[in-house]
Amino acid sequence: MKISIIQPDIIWEDKFQNFNKLEHLISLSEKNSDIVILHEMFSTGFTMNTEDLSESPHSDTFDWMVNMSEKGNFGLCGSYIVKEKNHTFNRWIFVTPEKKSWHYNKRHLFTMGHEQQFYTAGSRQLIFKFRGVRIMSAVCYDLRFPVWSRNRNNYDLLINSANWPESKRDIWITLLKARAIENQCYVAASNRIGTDGEHIKYCGDSMIINPRGKIVADAKINEESVISGDISMIELSDFRKKFPVLRDADKFTIRT
């Protein structure tokens, strides 16, 4: 499977300008990509302006994603602001060219940024299968909580869509590698660059990491870019058989 990751500098709270920019960057991705990954709140930036920017579950952003997925024949994913039944979610969506979709509401809201005052936390993990690969979703701050993403040999690829600030760059890279190693999975993570409307700086560091913790593809710091890399289910299976860490993992129950 080939994965492409988009690393943009987006326009604050202007989804239609961001659609145009992202369309251009997506057009630069590998033509045979199976999955294209966008970052957290890719259409607006990490904003608490939910009153003006939230959308119904199947509105402009969802329709745009479906259209891009269908045109490019790839799965497309990222998060945006969704309001449903009087709750507002930082919702990660994955859409396919066949117009099938899955969604995940961000579980760990960033309390230091007051996200919990404007959004409702999710309560369910999302693990699904696309083109032969079992995928688990995560959004930004989820990365700090390893129990939530603990692999019970039920997924192969962890996707994280983030707005991770430059000031915590080393933590970002360290945790991404840790999640790949401890879960014996591939990790693909998308982050933005630039400065947002709250004057927070981002430097990117979007990357794909293999189950041994090796970076197999990464974007240049502070540059808009598109990166691509291949993941192999055969290699992953062989590695897990030769070094069966997951077999010895502790059993536990997540209570929400």
Three-state DSSP class for 11? coil
Three-state DSSP class for 162? coil
Q: Which of 106, 166, 203, 224 is catalytic?
A: 106
Q: At what angle do helices 15-27 and 60-72 cross, to 10 degrees?
A: 10
Q: Which of 15, 21, 40, 166 is catalytic?
A: 40
Asked if 182 is an active-site residue, the reply is no
Q: Which of 15, 55, 140, 166 is catalytic?
A: 140
Alpha helices in the chain (DSSP H): 15-27, 50-53, 60-72, 169-183, 233-242
Query: Across the strands, what pairs with 4?
Result: 36, 228
Residue 94 CB coordination number (10 Å)? 23
Residues 221, 210: Cα–Cα separation, whole Å: 20
Asked if 106 is an active-site residue, the reply is yes
Q: Do the beta carbons of residue 154 and residue 126 sit within 8 Å?
A: no
Catalytically active residues are 40, 106, 140
